[in-house]
Structure 1
Amino acid sequence: MMEDTPDAESTIPAERRRRITLTQTRLVPDPIRLARYLRAPELGPTVLFFSGGSALRKTSRALTEFTHNSIHLITPFDSGGSSAKLRDAFPMISVGDLRNRLMALADTALRGNPEVYRLFDTRFPHDASQHDLRHRLADMAAGHDPMVSAVPQPLRKLIRNHLGYFIEHMPLTFDLRGASVGNLILAGGYLNNRRDIDAVIFLFSKLVAVRGVVRPVVDSNLHLSAELEDGTVVVGQHLITGRETPLSAPIRELRLTETVAAPEQLAEVEIDDRTGQLIDQAELICFPVGSFWTSVMACLLPRGVGAAVARAGCPKVYVPNCGEDPEEFGLAPHDQVRVLLEQLRRDAGEDTPTDALLHFVVVDSERGEYAGGLDIPAIERLGVEVIDSALVSEETAPLIEPRRLVELLLSLV
């Protein structure tokens, strides 16, 4: 009788296994490499994004065509809209950005997923009465609402259970006007699973076939605080974005605080082992387009992020915004790179070399419009290579075309 041959990994002692460093030349975008990913996206590369908000929604949809293994570490500190009401009622992280990314990565071709997508994207009207909204929410939990009844089992039962649990624990004064139904479902699941956000995300990811991993960078009920150049302190992500009220001066420093009411109570939080492992296994790390301070920089505030990025032996890429980002207040791309490196070094160590933290900055010098102007030599003087590529199309100008960005990033893996 023939015995099974042990695989190579089991026969090589752990102390003999090692990582090696390779230097390669790549064509970007690389049509052959991309064709391979399109043919077998389930075997696609592990690209990790530090982000939040909706800026990567279309990019995430394009990403699923090439890989089902992307990782999305999301900021959980939003303090506006539907998320703010939930955080006030139940001290918890913001789930809005998590919902947004889960739906962006969901396989809408599967039976039931389009119905879930529509349900999760539904918002209650702002001008309806509380009585009518509570009645509709009760109908949803009972399965009588047509949007819920259209969802096939077993996902319908799960949604009803989570909405029912939310209704049981919803304060009498809770304002349902403008509420995101998807946020209410995730909040109910979060509370029903002893505040274990991973359990809720895992379950929904399996049921709607999410093509990637979505996770808050930390599971901590904290808020963002920004000190401006004029000494003003702005607390709360929704105010820092500058969309409701323009900032009076550029942002000098971003911090974490315990509550919106007490900005002086600064907070420290550390990533857990699972987040560290996700960063370690990345084949490419991207600091992508989106709100520079409240999406990208906010994800880098927890302890352990900078050290994990420095430890990861993969390419690291920053993609500055094209178009207007009120948070940037005219901060030019080369200054954004400087700020990004400074934040990473706060955790990784001030003597951490640049090539351990960031390798490339991706721009479109021909069509891109950059706040403060694009100074490529200034970026290169920081020790980072600039990839100047046609990212902006006629249809998306002045914004980056999502598929072009995806193709460029995946060509680096």
Structure 2
Amino acid sequence: MIEKLGVDRHPRIVVIGGGTGLSVMLRGLKEKPLDITAIVTVADDGGSSGILRSELQIPPPGDIRNVLMALADVEPLLTEMLQYRFNSGTGLAGHSLGNLMLAAMTDIAGDFVTGVRELSRVLAVRGRVLPAAGQAIVLHAEMEDGSIISGESNIPKAGMKIKRVFIEPEKVEPLQEAVEAVRDADAILIGPGSLYTSIIPNLLVPKLAESIVQSNAVKLFVCNVMTQPGETDNYSVGDHLRAIHDHIGEHLFDYVIVNNGEIPPQVQAKYAEEGAKAVHLDLEEVESRGYKVIADRLVLFRTYLRHDAARLSHHIYQLVEGWMKRKG
């Protein structure tokens, strides 16, 4: 396949985000001949990550752990063990073994970034996993009524419409490796994930956002399949894109990848109980703003709806392959 691209290397793709959706997608992408760098949010402050962040003064490990597991080339049993969450034990309950290992590796290696790098080596990770910044950031949201909610885990619980989010410290420095990865990328992929609490926080890291805007890479946005209660209630695809544009002030993407597969009524009813519904594709609106739309049946349903990692990765690789060919 690399010969078809007319280059002597794998295409370099930078994937930016956080949360479960990113990990699902990466499991498909790692099977493609791609040089992957995942840049992961450091705004999480809930659960095990929040406790370790507060007590050990390290960036939150949870999203990093999920991405490491998605890209790891290890036996399934080891992956299951590292994702294992203790449900009893004073001080242990709620923590995952992988989070504790990341905390331990940070102490051994001397800093979080080196700890992630060393654990990546141990787990034979296919690609690189980088935090968006070398320190934890605090996420704040200004709501439509003017009130301010602080803390990533508190924002969706507020039950109010989000006007904007912002980070503290405002001028946090991104990892230089992350900036260089963006600068050298053939493709930059953002999403899927929680719009205001997993995706946009990465784009608020100033120099990281600037490097994305300035990059000549093809830029892709993978839209969520369902709305998220307390965060993107009633949002269409166009609303997701508008929120990113409003925060960055730039037209960021060349392509938008969306699901247009039918979601069974019983599944929709299950999500409706939680206040979520399918993200509406307002195709004319999105195309009128200059985005090219790739729409396909991209969902699987087990306990929850998830992106079809194999099908999604196929579309992404084809887009990157076509871009590389056009570049010559």
**Length-normalised TM-score, structure 1:** 0.68
AA aligned opposite 2:40: I
**SS of match in other structure, 2:154:** helix
AA aligned opposite 2:82: F
Tell me what 1:204 maps to. 119
Deviation at 1:387, TM superposition (A): 1.8
What stretches of structure 2 of length at least 5 have no aligned partner?
A: 269-276, 321-328
Kept in 1, the 8 Å contact 2:221–2:255? The answer is yes
Kept in 2, the 8 Å contact 1:307–1:344? The answer is no
AA aligned opposite 1:293: Y
Q: Once the two structures are aligned, what percentage of the paired residues are identical?
A: 29
How many pairs align? 305
Q: In the alignment, which of 154, 163, 174 is matched to residue 239 of structure 1?
A: 154
**SS of match in other structure, 2:129:** strand
Alignment partners' CA distance in 2, 1:336 and 1:98: 24
Kept in 1, the 8 Å contact 2:59–2:112? The answer is no
1:214-244 C-alpha deviation (Å, 9 max, x unpaired)? 010111222111111122322111122x3xx
Tell me what 1:184 maps to. 100
Tell me what 1:165 maps to. none
Kept in 1, the 8 Å contact 2:174–2:207? The answer is yes
Range 197-206 or range 73-82, more displaced: 197-206
1:295-335 C-alpha deviation (Å, 9 max, x unpaired)? 11111111112211122111111111112322212222112
Structure holding more strand per residue: 2
Kept in 2, the 8 Å contact 1:268–1:302? The answer is yes
1:43-91 C-alpha deviation (Å, 9 max, x unpaired)? 5422211111122223222222113521110001111111111122122
1:353-403 C-alpha deviation (Å, 9 max, x unpaired)? x3xx21111123353686563211111222212222332357799543111
Q: In the alignment, which of 236, 243, 248 is matched to residue 344 of structure 1?
A: 248
Tell me what 1:161 maps to. none
Asked whether 1:91 is paired with 2:66, we answer no
Alignment partners' CA distance in 2, 1:35 and 1:325: 42
Deviation at 1:34, TM superposition (A): 9.7
Q: In the alignment, which of 90, 94, 100 is matched to residue 66 of structure 2?
A: 100
Tell me what 1:75 maps to. 41
Kept in 2, the 8 Å contact 1:338–1:382? The answer is no
Q: In the alignment, which of 251, 255, 259 is matched to residue 360 of structure 1?
A: 255
Asked whether 1:374 is paired with 2:320, we answer no
Q: In the alignment, which of 171, 188, 206 is matched to residue 303 of structure 1?
A: 206
Asked whether 1:250 is paired with 2:145, we answer no
CA-atom RMSD in angstroms: 2.6
**1:380-395 mapped onto 2 (5 Å cutoff):** 380-392=287-299
Alignment partners' CA distance in 1, 2:194 and 2:253: 19
Alignment partners' CA distance in 2, 1:99 and 1:119: 12
AA aligned opposite 1:118: E
1:115-144 C-alpha deviation (Å, 9 max, x unpaired)? 542331122114x4x2xxxxxxxxxxxxxx
1:325-352 C-alpha deviation (Å, 9 max, x unpaired)? 222122221121122123233xxxxxx5
Q: In the alignment, which of 270, 279, 289 is matched to residue 192 of structure 2?
A: 289
Residue 306 and residue 74 in structure 1: after superposition, are their counterparts in 2 closer, same or farther (change >3 A)?
A: same
Alignment partners' CA distance in 1, 2:162 and 2:184: 33
Asked whether 1:214 is paired with 2:176, we answer no
**SS of match in other structure, 1:226:** strand
Kept in 2, the 8 Å contact 1:63–1:406? The answer is yes
Kept in 2, the 8 Å contact 1:306–1:343? The answer is no
Asked whether 1:119 is paired with 2:81, we answer yes
**Length-normalised TM-score, structure 2:** 0.84
Tell me what 1:45 maps to. 11
What stretches of structure 1 of length at least 5 have no aligned partner?
A: 1-32, 131-174, 258-265, 346-351
Structure whose alpha-carbon radius of gyration is higher: 1
**1:168-179 mapped onto 2 (5 Å cutoff):** 175-179=91-95
Alignment partners' CA distance in 1, 2:295 and 2:131: 31
Tell me what 1:267 maps to. 170
AA aligned opposite 1:119: M
Alignment partners' CA distance in 2, 1:36 and 1:400: 28
Residue 289 and residue 396 in structure 1: after superposition, are their counterparts in 2 closer, same or farther (change >3 A)?
A: farther
**SS of match in other structure, 1:252:** strand
Residue 411 and residue 35 in structure 1: after superposition, are their counterparts in 2 closer, same or farther (change >3 A)?
A: farther
Kept in 1, the 8 Å contact 2:131–2:175? The answer is no
Kept in 1, the 8 Å contact 2:44–2:50? The answer is yes
Kept in 1, the 8 Å contact 2:42–2:59? The answer is yes
Question: Once superposed, which parts of structure 1, at least 4 consecutive aligned residues long, lie more than 6 Å away?
Answer: 34-37, 394-397
**SS of match in other structure, 2:193:** coil
Residue 234 and residue 205 in structure 1: after superposition, are their counterparts in 2 closer, same or farther (change >3 A)?
A: same
1:263-289 C-alpha deviation (Å, 9 max, x unpaired)? xxx632122322110101111111121
Kept in 2, the 8 Å contact 1:367–1:398? The answer is no
Range 117-126 or range 364-373, more displaced: 364-373
1:183-234 C-alpha deviation (Å, 9 max, x unpaired)? 111112212322x222112212222210011010111222111111122322
